[in-house]
Structures are given as structure tokens and as C-alpha cells.
């Protein structure tokens, strides 16, 4: 859920920010541990100080009570010290004078001994207020000492009276048994009461609390780091997912726009993917083919090819003719192979279909050009050899014809012979025109004006033949870079052929329009049309359907248009008219 939310909101965290957050979080955890340690330490000091103060006040109160003899004769000051130290779990309680001599001690063996640590000086200055310090005891054990001037409550109420000039201790004789009463209770000496408490249990408890705090902080830190790492992983996941989506989209776009057809069939025989090129080659609709059974969509030839090969083998350069639209067949190069998963499991198979139509048309064009080139070379050689004798023949025919009387049979025969010689000479001229290399004189030309000029030339011939001319010329066409004389020759040749095809009259239509980067000129007639067998030979030299035709007119048209980088197409229905379409590029790539 969070991944999807981050992806939808395009939330991406930089790596440096994640590292920075981790470092800040670590610093916060360390600071929290440091603060917690000092808090625990201060709390321990306060607790020990309060405990020491309570013990001191209790001891002073007990001392007053003992001095009054209320404890009887069995309890004395030393007993109170020992019992207080034992029952309060403290290390020691002592009364020391200002020279560091122990006047009373919870350990009897220490009475009378001295310690430099309790000598009143700059580092140890007891007052009537509570003070504390931490010292090192036996065995390097830390001792928390609470100390102050010993002030028995009896003194405060006048049990010691100096004003009358004597010391009235007013103390039970058993209370100060075996102790220097005057040094303990005398106001001039004023001893110091010291309570020493072992810090070990408190430090152990504090260490335990600190450990617990550190464990808690560590867990919080680990959880936070885990969250940050999860965030980092989430970012990497989103980045990888986005990269995978981009790669999938790119692969899908590449496959969808491949110039070859692709059909993927799953193991259960259903079509899982088919691109637009394959749909066009197989003459099927994408929505009906996707997910359908392969045997109900694919041609039998493809399925037979698939069944004829062994699994795992790829068929390359296997050419088939697949049924296309309008009862046509399409030459296709087919490749097929199995689709195998990462673990080697069979997942289906696929077909790669490559349309060979353009390749076959190109091969036909190449063969036709080679054929035309060979014929042209042969014709040019023959034409040069024949043309010279023709001039001599025509001269002799004209001479011999002049020897006969005007209107005689011999004179008519000579004239017919001269006409035939002219016709042969014209054929040779056309043959040389066809055979010679292109020498285009390109000029920016308004194609509409060329067509109107050509129509004006054939207007009288069309009128004599009973042909009506209609035009639909686009006035917004751009100028073309063409040879005006050659293009005029092309248009005139097609117009004359169209008029001659309408022996009983008819309608001649000329239309122009722009289609993408080409200008199309459509010339249509309502003549007798061309049979399907003859349509494929219309541009071959010396092929003609007219009695007196040379068979070079359309061949020359085809050559001139191709020299301009264009193309010529004929669509005709026998006894239903013919349409010749000339396509000229706006930015021509001229034939060399």
C-alpha cells in the first residue's frame, strides 16, 4: 500500500538524505542515553542523600531519647550505632572529632583510631547543613558519605548549660557507657556524624536501568533504521519497478512497431500477442485475433509448417504464400521457434512473418530494367545500322517515283514505300529516344499549366473523335522540379493513347491532387480497357495492343517518370475504361 502511495505521489528519497537521517537518529539515541545516565545518577545521589539525612535525623532523635534515659539501661549509644548501621544496610555510621579521630563507630574496632579523610580542612568542611561526597572504600568500593555537625536535640533544648559556668550533661549514665561523653556532647568540640552507604547496589540498579534504556533505545534505533532501510528498499523497488515498466513499455512499443509480423501462441493454443503487421498480412482484425484459438485464425499453411518441424528448431527463410484480402496472396518469409521459460519449461511458440511483396516487386523491376537495358542497347545498335541505309532507300524511292506519271500505280507504290520508310525511321527515332541515357533539364514548374498546355494540343483530335474532356485540377499544388519537355511528352503520350482507345467517343478525365509528399495525376478514359493478361506487359518495349503502334510509347513514359523519381500505375477493367496514375515526388530523388 505504501509503495503504491509513494509511486502515485512520486515520492523519492535521495540516498544522502537517508544516510543523514540515520546519522541524526544515531546522535539522538546517544544523546538520550547520555541524558538518561545523568538523570539516573542525579536520582541516585538524591536518593542516597535523602536516605542519609533521614538516618542522621533519626540517629539524633535516638541520641536525645537515650540521653533522657528513655531506652533504659540496656541500650547505649554504641548499640544504637550498630543497630542503625545493621538494619539500614549501610556501610558504617561514625562520630568523628575535627582531628579525624573516631569517637563512636558502628565497628567497635574503629573507636579511637583516626583517619585523614575526616580531618576538617579545605576538602572536608562540615556544617550544620547536610553535605555529601563520594569516596573510595576498602576493595575499591565506592562509598556515598552524608555528613554534618552532630546536633543532638537535647543540646537545642538546653540540656547542656554553659551560662551557669558548668557542664551539666543531663545524660543517663548508661547511655554514654565507655565513651568520651565530654568530646561527644561538649559544644566546644562539636563532632561530625558521618554515614557511609555502599553505592554498589544503587549503581547496579542504575546500570540495569541504563542497560534497559540502552536496549530500548537500541530497539528504537534498529526499528528506525529498519524503517529507513525499508524506505530505501521501497525507493529501490519503485525505481526497479518503474525501470521494468519503462523497459516493458519500450519492448512493447518496439514489438508493436516492428516492420515484421509477430504472432505469439501460448501452450494451450491461444494467441497471446499479435501485432498490426501480422494482422495486415493475415487479413484479420486485432480485436478478434487476440486471445482466440490459433487454429481458428491462422492459415493452414502456417499451422502445417509448425507441425512439420521438431520442437526447439527454428525455421529460417521458409517462404509461403498466405491468402490476403480481395482474393490475393502475399509472399511471406516465415520463421517459427519455441518459447521456453527460465527453467526450460515449454510455454508456446511464435511466428515471425516478413512481407516479401516489395522485395518481389523490386526483383521484377530489376529484371524489367535489365531487360529494357539489354533491349535498348540492342535496339540502339540496330538503329544506327538501319538508319543510314533508310536514307538511301528513301532517296531512291523518291527518285524512281518521280519517273512515273502523277496518279499512276507506280507513282502511288513509290509514295507508299516512302511513307513506310518514314514510319520505320520514326520507330528508329523512338527507339533511340528510349535507349539514350537521361539528360533532364530540371526547372521549377507549375504542373497545372503543363497539363492545360497538353490538353490544348490534343483538344482538336479529341473533338474529332467525339471525346469530351473534363478536368479537376488542384490550383494549390506546389511547383515541381521537373523537365517540362519530358513531362509534357509523358502527358501527351497518355492523352493520345486514351483518345485512341475511345473509337466510338467517350469521356476523358484529368485530375490532380497532393498525397503526402507526392503529386498525383490521374488520366481516365471510358474506352475498351485492357485485359488482365496485358496489363503486366504495358510498359514492356514493343508490346502494343494497337495495329499500327510501335510498342514504345508507354515504355518511354515509364522511363521518363522513373527518371524523375516517380512511378506510373495502370488500373483497367476490360470494356470498362482505364486509369493511368502518375506519381511525382515533391522533393525528387532522381534516378542516376
Regarding whether 165 and 24 lie in a shared domain, the answer is: yes
Give the CATH number for residue 394. 1.10.287
Confidence label for 509 from pLDDT (cuts 50, 70 and 90)? very high
Is residue 280 in some structural domain? yes
Is residue 590 in some structural domain? no
Tens digits of per-residue pLDDT, 238-247? 888 888 888 8
Q: Which pLDDT does position 158 carry in this prediction?
A: 44
Regarding whether 91 and 21 lie in a shared domain, the answer is: yes
Is residue 387 in some structural domain? yes
Which of 41-50, 241-250, 326-335 shows the highest mean pLDDT?
241-250
Regarding whether 541 and 458 lie in a shared domain, the answer is: yes
Average pLDDT (57-85) is 65
Q: Which pLDDT does position 167 carry in this prediction?
A: 42
Regarding whether 44 and 186 lie in a shared domain, the answer is: yes
Whole-number Å distance between alpha carbons of 24 and 43: 28
Q: What is the dihedral of CA 161, 166, 168, 169, to 10 degrees?
A: 90
Average pLDDT (314-331) is 75
For residue 138, give the C-alpha cell: 576498602
Task: Check if the beta carbon of residue 75 is closer than 8 Å to that of residue 81.
Answer: no
Whole-number Å distance between alpha carbons of 503 and 525: 11
Confidence label for 295 from pLDDT (cuts 50, 70 and 90)? confident
Average pLDDT (346-367) is 85
Regarding whether 46 and 146 lie in a shared domain, the answer is: yes
Give the CATH number for residue 466. 3.30.565.10
Tens digits of per-residue pLDDT, 452-485? 999 999 999 999 999 999 999 998 889 899 999 8
Judge residue 13's burial from the number of C-beta atoms within 10 Å of its C-beta, 0-12 exposed, 13-18 middle, 19 or more buried. middle
Regarding whether 410 and 264 lie in a shared domain, the answer is: no
Domain end position, chosen among 404, 435, 466: 435
Q: Which pLDDT does position 3 carry in this prediction?
A: 46
Is residue 285 in some structural domain? yes
Instruction: Give start and end residues of each alpha helix (H) in 195-272.
Output: 200-256
- CB-based contacts of 410: which residues, under 8 Å, 6+ apart? 401, 404
Judge residue 167's burial from the number of C-beta atoms within 10 Å of its C-beta, 0-12 exposed, 13-18 middle, 19 or more buried. middle
Regarding whether 24 and 158 lie in a shared domain, the answer is: yes
Domain count, the chain: 4
Regarding whether 219 and 132 lie in a shared domain, the answer is: yes
Task: Check if the beta carbon of residue 408 is closer than 8 Å to that of residue 349.
Answer: no
**Which has more pLDDT, 5 or 512?**
512
Which residues constitute the domain of residue 312? 260-354
Which among 175, 170, 166 has a CA at the least distance from the CA of 154? 170
Is residue 592 in some structural domain? no
Judged by average pLDDT, the poorest of 54-68, 235-249, 416-430 is 54-68
Regarding whether 463 and 381 lie in a shared domain, the answer is: no
Domain end position, chosen among 435, 452, 467: 435
Q: Is the pLDDT of residue 33 over 90?
A: no
Is residue 591 in some structural domain? no
Which among 331, 333, 334 has a CA at the least distance from the CA of 360? 331
Task: Check if the beta carbon of residue 332 is closer than 8 Å to that of residue 356.
Answer: yes
- CA distances in angstroms from 79 to 454, 533, 561, listed in the order given: 147, 143, 137
For residue 459, give the C-alpha cell: 483538344
Regarding whether 233 and 117 lie in a shared domain, the answer is: yes
Q: Which pLDDT does position 166 carry in this prediction?
A: 38
Q: Which pLDDT does position 172 carry in this prediction?
A: 55
Regarding whether 147 and 251 lie in a shared domain, the answer is: yes
Partners of 105 in beta bridges: 94
Is residue 214 in some structural domain? yes
Regarding whether 369 and 405 lie in a shared domain, the answer is: yes
Separate counts of helices (H) and strands (E) for the chain: 16, 17
Average pLDDT (7-12) is 52
Task: Check if the beta carbon of residue 145 is closer than 8 Å to that of residue 194.
Answer: yes
Whole-number Å distance between alpha carbons of 392 and 398: 10
Domain end position, chosen among 414, 435, 456: 435
Give the CATH number for residue 35. 3.30.450.20
Tens digits of per-residue pLDDT, 133-171? 888 877 777 888 888 887 765 444 444 444 333 344 455
For residue 81, give the C-alpha cell: 550505632
Amino acid at each position: 500500500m505504501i509503495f503504491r502511495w509513494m509511486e502515485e505521489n512520486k515520492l523519492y528519497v535521495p540516498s544522502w538524505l537517508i544516510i543523514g537521517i540515520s546519522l541524526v537518529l544515531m546522535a539522538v539515541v546517544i544523546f538520550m542515553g547520555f541524558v538518561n545516565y545523568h538523570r539516573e545518577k542525579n536520582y541516585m545521589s538524591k536518593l542516597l542523600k535523602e536516605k542519609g539525612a533521614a538516618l542522621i535525623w533519626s540517629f539524633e532523635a535516638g541520641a536525645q531519647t537515650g540521653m533522657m534515659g528513655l531506652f533504659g539501661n540496656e541500650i547505649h549509644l554504641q548499640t544504637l550505632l550498630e543497630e542503625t548501621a545493621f538494619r539500614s544496610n549501610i556501610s558504617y555510621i561514625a562520630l568523628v572529632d575535627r582531628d579525624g579521630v573516631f569517637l563512636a563507630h558502628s565497628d567497635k574496632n574503629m573507636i579511637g583510631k583516626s583517619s585523614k579523610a575526616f580531618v576538617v580542612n579545605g576538602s572536608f568542611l562540615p556544617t550544620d547543613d547536610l553535605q555529601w561526597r563520594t569516596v573510595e572504600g576498602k576493595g575499591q568500593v565506592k562509598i556515598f558519605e552524608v555528613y554534618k555537625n552532630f546536633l543532638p536535640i537535647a543540646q537545642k533544648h538546653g540540656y547542656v548549660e554553659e551560662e551557669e559556668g558548668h557542664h551539666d550533661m543531663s545524660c543517663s549514665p548508661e547511655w554514654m557507657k565507655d565513651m568520651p561523653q565530654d568530646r561527644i556532647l561538649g559544644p566546644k568540640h562539636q563532632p561530625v556524624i558521618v554515614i557511609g552507604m555502599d553505592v554498589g547496589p544503587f549503581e547496579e540498579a542504575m546500570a540495569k536501568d541504563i542497560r534497559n534504556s540502552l536496549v530500548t533505545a537500541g530497539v528504537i534505533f534498529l526499528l528506525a533504521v529498519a524503517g529507513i532501510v525499508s524506505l530505501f528498499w521501497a525507493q529501490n523497488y519503485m525505481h526497479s519497478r518503474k525501470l521494468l515498466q519503462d523497459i516493458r513499455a519500450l519492448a512493447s512499443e518496439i514489438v508493436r512497431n516492428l516492420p515484421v509480423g509477430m504472432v505469439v501462441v501460448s501452450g494451450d493454443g491461444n494467441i497471446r500477442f499479435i501485432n498490426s503487421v501480422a494482422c495486415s498480412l493475415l487479413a484479420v482484425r486485432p480485436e478478434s485475433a487476440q486471445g482466440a484459438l490459433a487454429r481458428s485464425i491462422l492459415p493452414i499453411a502456417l499451422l502445417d509448417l509448425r507441425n512439420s518441424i521438431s520442437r526447439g528448431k527454428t525455421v529460417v527463410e521458409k517462404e509461403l504464400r498466405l491468402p490476403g484480402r480481395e482474393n490475393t496472396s502475399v509472399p511471406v518469409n516465415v520463421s517459427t521457434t519455441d518459447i521456453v521459460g527460465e527453467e526450460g519449461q515449454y510455454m508456446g511458440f511464435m511466428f515471425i512473418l516478413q512481407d516479401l511483396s516489395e522485395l518481389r516487386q523490386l526483383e521484377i523491376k530489376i529484371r524489367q530494367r535489365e531487360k529494357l537495358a539489354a533491349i535498348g542497347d540492342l535496339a540502339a545498335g540496330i538503329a544506327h545500322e538501319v538508319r543510314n541505309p533508310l536514307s538511301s532507300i528513301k532517296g531512291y524511292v523518291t527518285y524512281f517515283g518521280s519517273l512515273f506519271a502523277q496518279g499512276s500505280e507506280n507513282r502511288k507504290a513509290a509514295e507508299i514505300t516512302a511513307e513506310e520508310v518514314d514510319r520505320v525511321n520514326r520507330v528508329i527515332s523512338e527507339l533511340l529516344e528510349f535507349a539514350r541515357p537521361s539528360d533532364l533539364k530540371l526547372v521549377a514548374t507549375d504542373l497545372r499549366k503543363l497539363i492545360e498546355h497538353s490538353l490544348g494540343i490534343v483538344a482538336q483530335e479529341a473533338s474529332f473523335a467525339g471525346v469530351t474532356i473534363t478536368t479537376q485540377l488542384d490550383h494549390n499544388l506546389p511547383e515541381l522540379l521537373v523537365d517540362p519537355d519530358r513531362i509534357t511528352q509523358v502527358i501527351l503520350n497518355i492523352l493520345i493513347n486514351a483518345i485512341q482507345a475511345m473509337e466510338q467517343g467517350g469521356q476523358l478525365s484529368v485530375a490532380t491532387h497532393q498525397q503526402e509528399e507526392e503529386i498525383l495525376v490521374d488520366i481516365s478514359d471510358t474506352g475498351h480497357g485492357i485485359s488482365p493478361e496485358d496489363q503486366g506487359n504495358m510498359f514492356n518495349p514493343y508490346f502494343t495492343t494497337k495495329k499500327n503502334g510501335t510498342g514504345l510509347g508507354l515504355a518511354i513514359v515509364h522511363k521518363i517518370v522513373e527518371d524523375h523519381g516517380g512511378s506510373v500505375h495502370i488500373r483497367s477493367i476490360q470494356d470498362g475504361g482505364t486509369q493511368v496514375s502518375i506519381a511525382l515526388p515533391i522533393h525528387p530523388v532522381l534516378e542516376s
